[in-house]
Amino acid sequence: MWAKLENRNPTGSHKDRSMKPWVLHYAKSGVKELAISSSGNSAISAAKYCGGMGIKLNVFMSPHADTQKIELLKSNKDIIFDITKTPNKDAFRFCKKNNIINLRASRDDNALIGYEEIARELKEQLPNIDNIFIPTSSGATLEGIYQGFAKKGVKSPALYAIQTTKVHPIASYFDKNFTKESTSRATAIVDSIARRRDGVIKIIKETRGGGFVISNKELEEARQILKRNNPDLRVKWHSILSFAGFLKWQITCSNKLNDAITACLFTD
């Protein structure tokens, strides 16, 4: 199993892949103001690229989001920051009222373009790759990776969507072996509506992949294994989520193991 370390991106997450070309697309169109509702990483990335391109950014965020991410965004004087219990609804209303574009990966296909680069890199780094495990919220990352392989004219590896026992509209289509929980340490998995759901499930089926729903207990077990075998590795819960999905796959799909070459997307 190989770890694709997306925490090496400029703001420390895979969101930079998407956000840089996404914001650039609107900058080239003459857009001067954007908005985003986020659990943290997307907003941090958007703030970096909007600031660099002279675009005003409005951020809507839940008070239950990661405290460090909230404080980091609060300290950014170049954005307008709003803590609200209903960030998605408030961002939608704000954008509708003020005719501002809302950066929503679940609806905007421009969000997919940057993720295609992950596919191109993996094809170079692991030419015979068989499986990719992807922490999944809206499904945009998985769909973008699929598009990246398609644009190279090569067959996509099996793609696996990994979600939590709190939020799992995509992975639960494939994995019924879990008990729903009211909280998860992987707090960025938040898209319970998942408007990309049907398309992402179709992609997963086409690639002969699947999905896994991960509990807090399984997350902690995966963290302990990573810590024991890679003591210097510094990753957060969403990266561990991907690895936990791989571990569950090992148990439930042992007949597929053989000499399979697998990559887990360590997103932060």
- Tens-place pLDDT, residues 174-214: 999 999 999 999 999 999 999 999 999 999 999 999 999 99
What are the distances in angstroms from CA 188 to CA 60, 115, 183, 237, 268?
14, 17, 11, 9, 10
Alpha helices per DSSP H over the chain: 15-28, 41-52, 67-74, 87-98, 116-125, 140-151, 197-206, 216-229, 237-252
- Tens-place pLDDT, residues 133-167: 999 999 999 999 999 999 999 999 999 999 999 99
Q: Is the pLDDT of residue 257 over 70?
A: no
Q: Write down the residue that tokens 């990483």 correspond to.
A: 41
Half-sphere exposure of 244 (CA within 13 A, CB side): 27
Q: Record the pTM.
A: 0.95
* pLDDT confidence bin for 80, thresholds 50/70/90: very high
